[in-house]
Amino acid sequence: AKEPVRVLVTGAAGQIGYALVPMIARGVMLGADQPVILHMLDIPPAAEALNGVKMELVDAAFPLLKGVVATTDVAEACAGVNIAVMVGGFPRKEGMERKDVMSKNVSIYKSQASALEQYAAPNCKVLFVANPANTNALILKEFAPSIPAKNVTCLTRLDHNRALGQISERLNVPVSEVKNVIIWGNHSSTQYPDVNHATVKTSAGEKPVRELVKDDEWLNGEFITTVQQRGAAIIKARKLSSALSAASAACDHIRDWVLGTPEGTWVSMGVYSDGSYNVPAGLIYSFPVTCKNGEWTVVQGLPIDELSRKKMDSTAEELSEEKALAYSCLT
């Protein structure tokens, strides 16, 4: 039998946490044959709710779940974890300046970074979900210098999946037949959902999305804004932000990272830029990646047209600004 993998979820008493922990315990994240031990961290005001989630996990009697650590102690939460999904953080409240929220989060992730560095298992993989996800991941990387940059990522898979979903609806084909969309850049409304290399499996073979949709105006306009604004649309409809789709995307991200992407398929992940596609090095930027043996690689050599270039640069600019703001909170 396989050794259990320890998975940390921070902010586990929150909305996404509540959707995510049962998925992990059912094997959605790491596979139906992989036992797991869940580590759940939240803050003292949420301790009772966190304990309630733990009670429900016990009650669900998940065969793969070999243990649950529910705690408000960062060191205990990080001890021995192989995977860390960072969902908890300080939300922006009405009337708060971006800088005030950023400073709160910088101090939270500074201490969580050092706890991971000290107590997590070697080679621990980190996924940032809490917003601003790209920049929070960068902060964590800064404060956990012994964690390799390649192990620190952020979630743009939800945006990627939203793009697949929009194409599937538009063409009335199953979403499983659509692949290789790309989310470039920031997990924010400046992200660039790119379909220039995306394809659909049809009875006549694989066809480019552009050829099938036959409506560049829609693809270059409404499609892009729909994906960019989808989070806001969910809030408007549900009066709560996306949770089940975010949790599902977090599982997709880790599963593909650990177990590999299918041959011929790439996914979008926020990763540390090495300057590929002329994206400034040193940002956490969403790229198309393939994964093998637990490591991601940016897909190289895709032709980039002028419209794409502009959009890729403007989302990079926003990330550089966020980075500067984060650094200005460091003192």
Residues 93-122 that bind ligand NAX (CB under 6 A): 108
Instruction: Please tell me the count of residues contacting ligand NAX according to CB under 6 A.
Output: 29
Residue tagged 């259990």 (tokens)? 4
**Is residue 11 annotated as involved in ligand binding?**
yes
**Is residue 6 annotated as involved in ligand binding?**
no
Mark the segment that binds ligand NAX (CB under 6 A) among 23-31, 81-89, 210-218, 251-259.
81-89
DSSP of 132-161? SHHHHHHHHHHH-TTS-GGGEEE--HHHHH
**Is residue 115 annotated as involved in ligand binding?**
no
Q: How far apart are CA 235 and CA 220, in angstroms?
A: 24
Mark the segment that binds ligand NAX (CB under 6 A) among 60-68, 212-220, 242-250, 278-286.
242-250
With beta carbons less than 8 A apart as the criterion, state whether 281 and 316 touch.
Answer: no
Q: How far apart are CA 144 and CA 146, in angstroms?
A: 5
From the list 6, 160, 179, 187, which residue makes contact with ligand NAX (rule: CB under 6 A)?
Answer: 187
Paired strand residues for 205: 202
Smallest gap, in angstroms, from Cβ of residue 87 to ligand NAX?
Answer: 5
Smallest gap, in angstroms, from Cβ of residue 306 to ligand NAX?
Answer: 28
CB atoms within 10 A of CB 232: 11
- Identify the burial level of 76 via C-beta atoms within 10 angstroms of its C-beta, where 0-12 means exposed, 13-18 middle and 19 or more buried: middle
Q: With binding defined as CB under 6 A, does residue 243 bind ligand NAX?
A: yes
Smallest gap, in angstroms, from Cβ of residue 59 to ligand NAX?
Answer: 20
Paired strand residues for 201: 206
Catalytic site residue 39? no
Q: Which residues bind ligand NAX (CB under 6 A)?
A: 10-11, 13-17, 41-43, 46, 87-91, 108, 129-131, 133, 155, 158, 187, 231, 241-243, 246
Q: Which residues are catalytic?
A: 187
